[in-house]
Amino acid sequence: MKNISCDVAVIGAGGAGLSAAAAAAAAGAKTIVIDREESCGGVLCQCIHNGFGLRYFNEELTGPEYALRMEKCAREAGADIMLGETVSKVIRRSDNTFEATLFSGANGVTRLNARSFVFATGCRERTRANIAVPGDRSAGVYTAGSAQKLMNLSGMLPGKRAVIVGSGDIGLIMARRCRWSGIDVAAVVEILPEPSGLPRNIAQCLRDFDIPLLLSHRCARIIGRDRVEAVEIENMKTGERFNFQCDTVLFSVGLIPENELLKSMGIVMNTATGGPCVDASLQCAAGVFAAGNSLHVHDLVDFASLEARRAGKCAAEYASSGTLPVASVEVSCSKTLKYAVPNRCIPGTSGEFFFRPTVSCARAVLRAMTGNREIARKLCISVRPAEMLTMKLEIPAGINNVGFELEECK
Helix (H) or strand (E) holding 178: helix 169-180
Q: How far apart are alpha carbons 328 and 346 in whole angstroms?
A: 6
In the chain, the amino acid numbered 410 is K
Q: What is the DSSP string of 303-331?
A: HHHHHHHHHHHHHHHHHHHS------EEE
Q: Is residue 6 classed as helix, strand or coil in its secondary structure?
A: strand
Q: Which helix (H) or strand (E) holds 133?
A: none
Task: Judge whether 166 and 189 are in contact, CB under 8 Å.
Answer: yes
Measured torsion, CA atoms of residues 56, 308, 262, 130, in degrees rounded to the nearest 10: -20
Question: Is the Cβ–Cβ distance between 120 and 14 less than 8 Å?
Answer: yes
For residue 327, what pLDDT is reported? 87
Residues contacting residue 142 through CB under 8 Å, at least 6 positions apart: 150, 158, 248, 249, 250, 251
Note whether 122 and 293 are within 8 A (CB). yes
Helix residue ranges per DSSP H, 78-143? none
| pTM given for the model | 0.94
The domains located in the chain, with CATH, are 2-124+256-324 (3.50.50.60), 127-253 (3.50.50.60), 328-410 (2.60.40)
Q: With a cut of 70, list the residues of the chain below it in pLDDT.
A: none
Give the residues across from 4 on adjacent strands. 112
Strand, coil or helix: 44? helix
Structure confidence at residue 333 (pLDDT): 94
